[in-house]
Amino acid sequence: MSRVEIVEQPTTLVALTANAAAKIKELQAEEPAGDAGVLRIAVQGGGCSGFEYALGFDRAAQEGDHEIESHGVSVVVDPFSAPYLQGAEIDFLTGLQESGFKISNPNVSSSCGCGHSFQVEEGEAAEGAAHGCGSGCSH
C-alpha cells in the first residue's frame, strides 16, 4: 500500500480581484510620478469594533514588509498587520447598494454594522458592534 502525502498550499497573504487591481492601477496613474509605487494595506486600532483597515499608496516597501504581486499590482503589508490579513481578498464593487473597495477577511470574528471596523479575537463581539456603528465609525 503506497502512502499519499497531502501537502497544504500556503494561503496567499492578500489577494486582489481583477476589478480591484484595475481600479488601483487607475488611481495610481492619477498620483504624482514615484509617489504610488505600491499599495500599502494595514490594520490599525480604531473604530467601534477594535480594528480598521487602512489602504493607501506608498513609494516602496519598507524593511520587514511582506511583498505580494496580484494582477500586476505590487502590494505591501507590514509585519504587525500580516497575521490579521492572512487570506484576505480585496475587491472593488460598483453596485447600487455597495460601491468601493470591499475586504473579505477570513480572520474577522465580528464587524461593525457599517463594515468599517472589525474584531479578530475569539469570543463575544464588542459591546454595541452587533447593533450598528455607534459613534466610533466615520463614513
Residue 50: give its domain's CATH number: 2.60.300.12
In a domain, 113, yes or no: yes
Sign of the torsion formed by the C-alpha atoms of 37, 21, 78 and 8: negative
The per-residue pLDDT for 7 is 52
In a domain, 93, yes or no: yes
| Residue 74: inside a domain | yes
pLDDT in tens, 2-51: 566 655 545 689 999 999 999 999 999 999 988 999 999 999 887 676 78
Q: Is residue 114 part of a domain?
A: yes
pLDDT score for 132: 37
DSSP H stretches of helix in 31-108: 82-85
User: Per the domain annotation, does 6 fall within a domain?
Assistant: no
Length of the chain equals 139
Which range marks the domain in which residue 95 is found?
Answer: 14-131
Share of the chain above pLDDT 70, in %: 71
How many structural domains compose the chain?
1
Residue 5 within any structural domain of the chain: no
Confirm whether 137 is domain-assigned: no
CA-to-CA distance for 54 and 75, rounded, in angstroms?
Answer: 13
Looking at mean pLDDT, say which of 42-56, 91-105, 107-121 comes out highest.
Answer: 91-105
Which pTM value belongs to this model?
0.73
In a domain, 60, yes or no: yes
Query: Which among 37, 43, 68 is positioned nearest to 55, based on CA atoms?
Result: 43
| Mean per-residue pLDDT of the chain | 79
